[in-house]
Amino acid sequence: MPSTRDIRRRIKSVKNIRQITKAMELVAASKMKKAQQVALGGLPYANLLADVLSALSAGIEESTHPFLVEREVKTRGVLLITTDKGLCGSLNANLFKLVMEIKTPVKFYSIGRKGTQFLARTKRTMVADFPVHDRVPFSEVKVPSEFMIKQYLEGQIDTIEVIYSRFKNTLVQVPTVRPVLPLHNLKEFLDQLAKDTGAPRPPQDEREILFEPSAHEVLNALLPYYVDHQIYQLALSAKASEHSARMVAMKTSKDNATELLGDLTLEYNKARQAGITQEILEIAASQFSAA
């Protein structure tokens, strides 16, 4: 049986862990709320952009733009969005399972140190990794997006797909593979994105729209920006998932520490009581021997 000194040390250690995990839980909860608000705040703009592109593509032959042309898939391009830090439960591990399921030729691009380390450790073809700040600024997410678009137009990859954690609610984050290019149905893509985030799209404007200078030029200008914005929205969803998963993991750790603290306190009291009983017996035995 461990001594009371050892148990006191363990109790002190568990109290410190509980204090740290409680602080991390509160920080993650605050960040999660902000990340969720940012993710939902960008949906109206994304919806409007999709409606404009839908109106444009309806009157233009799809073969006029490479983003709208379906071609033979020889090499997939996959952007893996993970976290920079750990302590977020099985969030990253679930994404890695989706990566392991890919058997076709693929080139990986990474956002997040955990994903970069996994791809390097498993010796998968990784073209580049990109740092993105915790606030997920659009200017930083635009860098990997434009890099992949360039490789797509050059024919080095035939698809652009994103593996990320889709934020459903605080307790549920769904590992998802989301195709981005080629674009076949803009409305369907945005409807699914709105369904994922719980913010339904407004009804589409059915009025005829006139474009200046021409529908072709407007489409060519908007499509790359549309892809950038979609990847940005997915990155925001992934960040909200990260903070949610970390908050839940830290709450679970705090609760386990509280339970363990109760068990250790009970064990300490038993050991202390046993020590006192032993001392009383020794005193009584010494007095009996002296008599």
Residues 174-186: tens digit of each pLDDT: 888 988 888 765 5
11-15, 162-166, 285-289, range with the lowest pLDDT: 285-289
CA dist 198 and 238 (Å) reads 15
Grade residue 190 by pLDDT with cuts at 50, 70 and 90. Answer: low
Q: What is the reported pLDDT for 183?
A: 76
Residues 67-108: tens digit of each pLDDT: 877 788 899 999 999 988 888 888 889 999 999 998 889 999
Rounding to the nearest 10 degrees, give the CA dihedral for residues 89, 90, 92, 93.
150
Q: What is the reported pLDDT for 67?
A: 80
> Mean per-residue pLDDT for 149-158?
90
For the domain 27-247, what is the CATH code?
3.40.1380.10
Q: What is the reported pLDDT for 109?
A: 92
> Options 2.20.28.160, 1.10.3720.10, 1.10.287.80, 3.90.420.10; which CATH number does 4-25+249-290 get?
1.10.287.80
Average pLDDT score, the chain:
80
Q: What is the reported pLDDT for 96?
A: 92
Whether the per-residue pLDDT at 49 is higher than 90: the answer is: no
Q: What is the reported pLDDT for 187?
A: 57
Question: What are the residue boundaries of the structural domains of the chain, listed by start?
Answer: 4-25+249-290, 27-247
Nearest to 245 by CA among 102, 69, 92, 108: 92
Residues 200-253: tens digit of each pLDDT: 555 555 666 677 777 777 777 788 888 888 889 889 888 888 888 888 888 888
> Mean per-residue pLDDT for 193-203?
55
77: β partners: 107, 160
Q: What is the reported pLDDT for 95?
A: 92
Burial of 61 (0-12, 13-18, 19+ CB in 10 A): exposed
Read off the tokens for 146: 């434009």
Read off the tokens for 189: 């893509």
C-alpha separations of 114 from 81, 86, 91, 142 in Å:
9, 8, 11, 20
81: β partners: 111
φ, ψ dihedrals at 152, nearest 5°: -65, -45
113-117, 144-148, 232-236, 259-263, range with the lowest pLDDT: 259-263
